[in-house]
Amino acid sequence: MCKILSRIEELSKQEGITIGALEKKIGASKGVLSRAIAKGTDIQAKWIESLVENYPMYSTEWLLTGNGPMLKAATQESQVTAQLSTPTAKDRIPEAFRCLDALHFTHELIPLVSQKAAAGFGNADFAITKSDVKEYYVIPKWRRQHVDFMIEVTGDSMQPKYNAGDVVGCTIIHNSGFIQWNRPHVIATREQGLLIKRLMPGTTANSLSAVSENIQYPPFDIPKDEITGIALVIGHVNLE
């Protein structure tokens, strides 16, 4: 079954979508495929059936056994016909990198998305689609950090650490027990949208304290039931 997971990854790359988007497409909860891929564990047969139903252009024999071509014969013929007009993986790479290996970079492209698109990252069915992506970044040092998305900083509450227009890389935290106190996080809230703050224990057991870098903004508590998602900021990109 684990070999099937590697072919599922190939399928998602061929489609130009993330594993999260693929999970959404087949009706699976967030993490069903990504956790199995990360841990090398089995997935239920119903998800394989859903893949076959939703992507009929792919060979079932190839998906199950790895034998034969990935695409069915008719699909391959149509792809040859459309080859001149269909964007390739290399076309999606920033121009400065197009002289380099396209396949290598499709594995490492980090999507920069709008705050509106990222606001739902705490939901179980959250997935980034092509229309959500403003740009892709290639940052080799972030390769092992499992960065899920990047967003632009707004406002001045995190100055001087972050300025408006800086870009931060975010890794979604799926277990609130792994919060790293006093580290900057992106917090998705029901009423205030996305906030970028350092997190500390709240004044009550049912809250977290949001701390700004700018001393003009005093710390404040966020009720835990107002928080829909938390992501760790692992780095940022800025201009002088």
Q: Quick one: which of 44, 72, 46, 48 has its CA closest to 58?
A: 72
**For residue 146, is it within any domain?**
yes
Element of type H or E holding 9: helix 2-15
DSSP state letter for 158: T
Q: What is the pLDDT of residue 74?
A: 57
What letter represents residue 22's amino acid? L
Same domain, 212 and 141: yes
**For residue 220, is it within any domain?**
yes
Same domain, 117 and 231: yes
**For residue 228, is it within any domain?**
yes
Same domain, 135 and 65: no
Question: In CATH, what number is assigned to the domain containing residue 76?
Answer: 1.10.260.40
Same domain, 127 and 214: yes
**For residue 99, is it within any domain?**
no
Same domain, 63 and 125: no
Same domain, 46 and 147: no
Question: In CATH, what number is assigned to the domain containing residue 175?
Answer: 2.10.109.10
**For residue 211, is it within any domain?**
yes
- pLDDT by residue for the chain (240 residues), tens only, comes to 467 888 999 999 888 899 988 988 888 888 888 888 888 877 887 888 888 888 889 988 888 888 889 888 754 444 544 444 444 444 544 544 444 444 444 446 888 998 888 888 877 667 777 778 888 888 888 867 788 899 999 999 999 999 999 999 999 888 777 899 999 999 999 888 899 999 999 999 999 999 999 999 999 999 999 999 999 999 999 877
Same domain, 203 and 121: yes
Residue 32 CA, chain-centre distance (Å), reads 14
**For residue 95, is it within any domain?**
no
**For residue 137, is it within any domain?**
yes
Q: What is the pLDDT of residue 204?
A: 95
Q: Quick one: which of 194, 200, 148, 205 has its CA closest to 179?
A: 200
CB 236 within 8 A of CB 216: no
Same domain, 120 and 180: yes
Same domain, 10 and 128: no
List the beta bridge partners of residue 201: 208
Same domain, 141 and 60: no
Q: What is the pLDDT of residue 127?
A: 72
**For residue 96, is it within any domain?**
no
Q: What is the pLDDT of residue 124?
A: 64
Q: What is the pLDDT of residue 223?
A: 96
Same domain, 35 and 138: no
The number of distinct structural domains making up the chain is 2
User: Rounded CA gap, 16 and 26, in Å?
Assistant: 15
| Cα end-to-end span (Å), the chain | 49
Which residues constitute the domain of residue 127?
106-237
User: Rounded CA gap, 137 and 8, in Å?
Assistant: 24
Same domain, 133 and 69: no
User: Rounded CA gap, 91 and 16, in Å?
Assistant: 12
